[in-house]
């Protein structure tokens, strides 16, 4: 190996590449290294190649809310469709592992009939009086 990273080692006899440290896609998603092959001739000849290792994602992070607590207020008799703003969470994983879906897990019956939560955006809106 000519240049690389301490995450890898290579068997100089058979070219097997070994991973020495575990990878974290959220820290480094790709490793690029140069590997050189040398012959044993009287005048040594060589070739180099670029090796790219891509780290695929594992769902190892939970979504994180942007705040520990959200407080919203609404004026009485607010019209149906009035937005109360968003409850926001982000997930640093990739693709479906990082998609956030919002659901109301506990709300008093009155609240869930009066306020709607968008499962995709986390936006709260007034549904209208029951
Ligand atoms: Ca991950
Ligand atoms: Ca995740």
Provide the CATH topology of domain 64-126: Immunoglobulin-like (2.60.40)
SS3 of 98, please? helix
For 31-44, the pLDDT digits (tens) are 999 999 999 999 99
Q: Which residues fall within 8 angstroms of residue 42, CB to CB, at 6 or more apart?
A: none
Report in angstroms the alpha-carbon separations of 97 from 58, 90, 112, 122. 7, 11, 28, 17
Q: How far is the CA of 60 from the centre of ligand 2 (A)?
A: 6
Q: How far is the CA of 76 from the centre of ligand 1 (A)?
A: 43
Q: What are phi and psi of 64, to 5 degrees?
A: -125, 125
User: Which residue ranges make up each domain of the chain?
Assistant: 8-54, 64-126
For 74-127, the pLDDT digits (tens) are 888 889 999 999 999 999 999 999 999 999 887 676 777 888 999 999 999 998
Q: How far is the CA of 58 from the centre of ligand 1 (A)?
A: 4
Phi-psi region of 114 (alpha: psi -120 to 50; beta: other; left: phi over 0): alpha
Supply the pLDDT for residue 49.
96
Two tokens, residue 127: 């549904």
Q: Which ligand is nearest to the CA of 96?
A: 2
pLDDT score of 62 more than 80: yes
Supply the pLDDT for residue 5.
63
Supply the pLDDT for residue 110.
72
Supply the pLDDT for residue 82.
94
Give ∠ CA 61-64-70 in degrees, rounded to 5: 165
pLDDT score of 63 more than 90: yes
CA distance 21 to 115: 49
């Amino acid at each position: 190996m000519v240049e690389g990273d301490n995450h890898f080692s290579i068997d100089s006899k058979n070219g097997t590449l070994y991973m020495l440290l575990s990878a974290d896609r959220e820290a480094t998603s790709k490793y690029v290294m140069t590997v050189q092959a040398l012959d044993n001739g009287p005048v040594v000849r060589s070739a180099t190649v670029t090796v790219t290792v891509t780290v695929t994602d594992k769902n190892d992070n939970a979504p994180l809310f942007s705040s520990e607590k959200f407080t919203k207020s609404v004026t009485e008799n607010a019209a149906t469709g009035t937005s109360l703003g968003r409850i926001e969470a982000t997930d640093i994983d990739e693709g479906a592992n990082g998609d956030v879906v919002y659901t109301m897990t506990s709300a008093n019956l009155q609240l869930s009939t009066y306020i709607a939560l968008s499962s995709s955006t986390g936006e709260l809106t007034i549904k209208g009086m029951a």
